Structure 1
Amino acid sequence: MAIGSGKYSEFRRGWQIVLASLLGIGLGLSPMPFYTMGVFAPHMAKEFGWSIGEIMGGLTVTTFMVLWAGPAIGVLAGRIGVRRVALASLPLFGLAFMTLGLSSGSLTQYYLTWAAIATLGAGTLPITWTKAVNHWFDRSKGLALGLSLMGTGLFGIASKPYLAWLIGAFGWRAGYVGLGLLPILIALPTAYLLFRDTDTHADAVVRTTTPGGFTLREALGQWRFLLLASALLPISYALGGPVPNLEVILKGGGVDAATVLTLTPLVGLASIVGRIAGGWLLDRFWAPAVAFVILSLPGISCWLLTGTALDYPTAAAAIVLIGFALGVEYDVMAFFVARYFGLRSYAAIYGMLYVFFSLGAGFGPFGFGRDYDLHGNYHLSLTISCVVLVVAAASFLLLGRYRDFADEPVTV
């Protein structure tokens, strides 16, 4: 390692990549539907007569599309570069998102729109951005990933008041247009100016034509891949289910509408803290242990949210634990791929794991919504999630030591 190329030097040379990734991820396919569907759901239910479960089904459609789009984008990013993928996907995603404002009351049209959004926006998923971050950072990989993925939390905080203003002034259809403009007007120009294919750029901290690690085919045969896939699916279901339904969960717990508006942004705030703190912890402690502690704690949240007489401190504590875990789960997945499978086929392996992650995150809101449609509450889903989070997070402890790859890229 060259003198002056420590972790602080990594940030001096790679801050542009982190900033572009933060905005690209924060205004991309991963957080935008997830954090905003609960805001639009009451308006669409009132105008079209749709149930909460039917509206949340849009996220399930997104999940099915990501099943093939995620791995495809991972392979494409490896062939033509992450910069090209990101710059093409950002404007297409924004335009597709705007078309939700044209919903006419047809569920078929609504679901087809979500299918288009997922397909065109797949290049904005963390698969693209974290590949670049992993190439630019080594000693501070966890913190850099945390800062980059912090964009989801920032969007979670900013989206609520932004949408409240848009919908209050112009209606819910304008809310979709206003959201679709964000990746086009903010993330796209930033990525154009700052984001690069760092594996071939002269200033890249980590640069070589043959990075170490497994190929996709080799990784699929690894027991660690199967363990991660089987754990990420239930964890993402249990964490992804409550957030889009959070407004309804809180109201069912006796929280008034005004207080709900002050509580829901805590998810985004806690997510930001989780990104930074989680990234810092991943750089300093054994990642599976960090993941076990942080991702099992929301089990307490799910138990607390089953109450029918929630006070502000209890509701806030439950939301903060969920948000903190949401801030870590993406960091953990990216960190695990880099440390246990290497960077040779990082985007493709990440893309395959993202399939399992998105399955849980996509079916979670729908499953929770159906629970409400059938029982008038979320008690069953929340109780199951209590157990699932602890058991699945504990399985990470079986991963063992990080892998060493003899031909892993070296710092230049």
Structure 2
Amino acid sequence: MHPDGAYAWFRLAIAILLSTLGGVGMWSVVVVLPAVQAEFGVDRAGASLPYTLAMIGFAVGNLVVGRWVDRAGIILPVIGSALSLSAGYALAAVAPSLLVFALIQGALIGFGTAATFGPLLADVSHWFQRRRGIAIACAASGNYIAGALWPTFIKWGLAAGDWRSTYLAIAVILLVTMVPLTLLLRTRRHAGPLVRPGEAGPSGGGHGPRDLGLSPAALQGLLVLAGLACCIAMSMPQVHIVAYCVDLGYGVAPGAEMLALMMMGGIVSRLVSGVIADRFGGLVALLVGSVGQGLALALYIPFDGLTSLYVVSLVFGLSQGGIVPSYAVIVREYLPAQEAGQRIGFVIMATIFGMAIGGWMSGFIYDLTGSYTAAFLNGAAWNLVNAAVVLSLLLRDRRTRRVAMG
């Protein structure tokens, strides 16, 4: 088998399906939150605890499961993910209290979802060479597709029954679909990927096909800083757009529609960023997304009319969607291939924590100032940090390549 061949694309199709199925863990608790809050009789802050723990589980899982993928390949981790998710939804459906429900969301559902994002991107990256960027982008889009499909199913389940029966249905669906799909990824030993876990990368060395003149630890640290900064910026519209629309007097519905518009734009952005990465490299793709996201954040400040907010939200979605997958491409370009799972997982963990910190930070700034203007400016400032880190790496890449060429 060859990289970028027919079997590689077959595996990518399976990866997209697995990402779409496993991605339910990112969205289900958001949709059932009002019903859970009403049943357990808690305030909105208390009802938000399950989402917070799910995101923590998702963040930690990307790193832990990524290390597992590096050692054992993708099969066992994704089967483990399917079992964890199925058990999590089944147990959550009979949870006697909000605390138990929240702990299950973090330990089983959030953690289980992780295998279908960062670790799956790492596995896909081993099967592609020329088209690695678009392949990673397609696999990452499964998470957004999940955000478009699963909420509709869950709303239907809530209308037909209640959140507990809906969670039980999800448990069954995940078990009967994810395990068979994962088994389709089994390969004979001689028909493995371009780079198997534990083997050297295509360059034959420890730093992948390109060298920035940085140690792997230093580059990893810079990517973590960039990931944290870009997602602190990214969280401002994604977390607060609905509240922002309410403050402006437009109501909840337009804000929800703008959020959906961001997600649809994000799918397009991920695919376009993959094409850019294949042509110009992951750093260029990341810088394009970062600059676009920064401009969109700045546009939110002067343009607060209803129509203009829809337009700016679309621009934001078309800019930010490709940012996170670009980190996976960069890791594969500059860091050891045999460590791709844990290194991609580490950067993605930083981006998730960035979303969590940024969402809180924007709310804190709003409480201090009474408006979102300063919060948008804060997001733009963090975006500048991201762009500065990426630009410095890109310039270093250009210098080292010129030196290498003599």
Aligned residue pair count? 391
2:10 aligned to 16, 23, 29, which one?
A: 16
Q: By how many angstroms is 1:56 displaced?
A: 3.8
Partners of 1:377 and 1:94 lie apart in 2 by 42
8 A contact 1:372–1:378 mirrored in 2: yes
Equivalent in the alignment of 1:93? 85
Q: Secondary structure at the match of 2:112?
A: helix
Matched to 1:250, the amino acid is C
- Between the aligned partners of 2:372 and 2:57, the Cα distance in structure 1 is 27
Note the C-alpha offset of 1:239: 1.9
Distance, in Å, in 2 between the alignment partners of 1:41 and 1:300 is 33
Q: Which residue of 166, 186, 209 maps to 1:196?
A: 186
SS in 1 for 2:148: helix
- The higher-RCO structure (CA 8 Å, 6+ apart) is 1
Q: How far apart, in 1, do the equivalents of 2:35 and 2:369 lie?
A: 22
After superposition, where does 1:4-403 map in structure 2 within 5 Å? 10-28=4-22, 31-48=23-40, 50-66=42-58, 68-102=60-94, 104=96, 106=98, 108-117=99-108, 120-121=111-112, 124-193=115-184, 195-196=185-186, 200-202=189-191, 204-205=193-194, 210-212=199-201, 213-214=205-206, 222-240=217-235, 242-260=237-255, 262-303=257-298, 305=300, 310-311=305-306, 313-368=307-362, 378-399=372-393, 400-401=396-397
Write the deviation string for residues 280-336 of structure 1: whole angstroms up to 9, x where unpaired.
01001243232122123233444555689541x323223323433443123211101
- CA displacement at 1:104 relative to structure 2: 4.9
Q: Structure 2 CA distance, aligned partners of 1:188 and 1:375?
A: 50
Partner of 2:186: helix, strand, or coil? Answer: coil
Distance 1:75-1:303 versus aligned 2 partners, 3 A rule: same
- Point out where structure 1 has 5 or more consecutive residues left out of the alignment: 405-412
Give aligned-pair identity as a percent: 20
Post-superposition offset of 1:70: 3.2
Point out where structure 2 has 5 or more consecutive residues left out of the alignment: 208-212, 402-406
For residues 167 and 246 of structure 2, the distance between their equivalents in structure 1, rounded to whole angstroms, comes to 24
* Amino acid in structure 2 at the alignment position of 1:164: K
SS in 2 for 1:345: helix
Moved more, 391-400 or 258-267: 258-267
Q: Give the drift of 1:277.
A: 0.7
- Determine the C-alpha separation between the residues in 2 that align with 1:79 and 1:387: 39
Provide the TM-score with structure 2 as the length reference. Answer: 0.81
**Structure 1 counterpart of 2:200, which letter?**
P
Q: Equivalents in 2 of 1:370, 1:34: separation in Å?
A: 24
Q: Indicate conservation of the 8 Å contact 1:235/1:360, yes or no.
A: yes
Query: 1:243 offset after TM fit, Å?
Result: 2.8
Instruction: Indicate the RMSD between aligned Cα atoms, in angstroms.
Output: 3.6
Distance 1:243 1:117, change over 3 A: farther
Q: TM-score, normalised by structure 1?
A: 0.80
> Within 2, Cα distance between the matches of 1:305 and 1:96?
39
Q: Which moved more, 1:127-136 or 1:183-192?
A: 183-192
